[in-house]
Amino acid sequence: MTSDSAVVHSQSCVAPENVSFVESVQEVHELAELLRLVDGLPTEYRSNFYQVLDRLAACLERRQRMLGYVQDSLNQMSLDLKYLIFDLEATRRERDEYRALLESSPL
């Protein structure tokens, strides 16, 4: 396989949005089962399959790592949003207090 096709292959490994952790674990078990089946093949066929399985395993690992990054980012964004909402509510309270002070004080 050329380096160009390896790049295309690695780009196609991006996880679909709807892949769950359970499906990811199931894929790892299926990959292990496939490896056991390939081990039963005649020696002359194994090397080609091992190369493909290595790329597939690397693809699965990258996808799991990317899903972890996405989950971490979503958790951080959720926390940041909570802080922003808290700050907005505090700012509104302060604004209302100053407005009430201005309206009640004679000029």
pLDDT of residue 20: 62
Neighbouring C-alpha atoms within 13 Å toward the C-beta of 41: 13
Q: Which of 59, 49, 66, 67 is nearest to 8 (CA)?
A: 59
pLDDT, averaged across the chain:
81
Q: What is the pTM (predicted TM-score) of this model?
A: 0.57
pLDDT of residue 48: 85
pLDDT of residue 14: 44
57-105: per-residue pLDDT in tens? 899 889 999 999 999 999 999 999 999 999 999 999 999 999 999 999 8
Quickly state the pLDDT bin for 23 (edges 50, 70, 90). low
Q: Which of 20, 18, 24 is nearest to 62 (CA)?
A: 24
